[in-house]
Structure 1
Amino acid sequence: MAEIVVMYKTPKDPAAFDKYYAETHVPLAKKMPGLRKFQVSQGPVATPAGPSAFHLIAILTFDNMAAIQKAFGSAEGHAAAGDLPKFASGGADMLLFDTREV
């Protein structure tokens, strides 16, 4: 499997972020071809030392890295990526990687 982890930094208006993310961005992202699973954090995102700079973490699962590349190359992937500036006022970091069970 392969995953994308999107770490959304605290936005200027957290309530507006949450509303837009749930009502607009998630439905867009769920249309990406090859998406197997879509998880988001619930409640505060913390570190072992306490609060973090992140408001929300999203984890999207695909079969492999080729499926991620295909998804982002699609019209649906372009729509989801292009939507970020509309709500992620704090910015976002994105990590992509293959996974294996150990």
Structure 2
Amino acid sequence: MASLVVMYGTPSDAAAFDRYYRETHIPIAKAIPGLRRYEISRGPVVTPAGPSKYHLVATLLFDDLAAIQAAFASAEGQKAAVDVQVFATGGAEMFIFDSEEV
């Protein structure tokens, strides 16, 4: 499996972010071809030492890195990427990696 992890910084209006993310962005992202699983954090995102600068973490799982590349080359993937700019007032960091079970 390969993952795309998106870490959203604390937005200027958390309630508006949450509403938009659930009502608008999730349906857009779930249309991305090749998406196998989509998870988001629930509740505060913290570190072992306490609060973090992140409001929400999304993990999107695909078969492999090639599937992620194909997904974001698609019209649906491009629409999701552009949409992030609409609501992520606290910024968004994206990480892509292949993984193995150990």
Give your verdict on TM over 0.5.
Answer: yes
Question: Sequence identity of aligned pairs in percent?
Answer: 63
Matched, 1:95 2:95: yes
Structure 2 match to 1:57: 57
TM-score of the pair, normalised by structure 1: 0.99
Q: How does 1:23-62 map to 2 (within 5 A)?
A: 23-62=23-62
Number of aligned residue pairs: 102
Structure 1 match to 2:16: 16
User: For the residues of structure 2 that align with 1:62 and 1:85, how far apart are their CA atoms?
Assistant: 23
Unaligned runs of 5+ in 1: none
Amino acid at match of 1:3: S
Unaligned runs of 5+ in 2: none
Amino acid at match of 2:57: I
Q: Secondary structure at the match of 1:95?
A: strand
RMSD: 0.3
1:84: Cα distance to partner?
0.8
Structure 2 match to 1:84: 84
- What does the per-residue CA deviation read over 1:17-64, in whole Å, with 9 as the maximum and x for residues that have no partner? 000000000000000000000000000000000000000000000000
1:85: Cα distance to partner?
1.2
User: For the residues of structure 2 that align with 1:69 and 1:56, how far apart are their CA atoms?
Assistant: 23
User: For the residues of structure 2 that align with 1:96 and 1:24, how far apart are their CA atoms?
Assistant: 23
User: For the residues of structure 1 that align with 2:18 and 2:49, how far apart are their CA atoms?
Assistant: 25
Q: Secondary structure at the match of 2:8?
A: strand
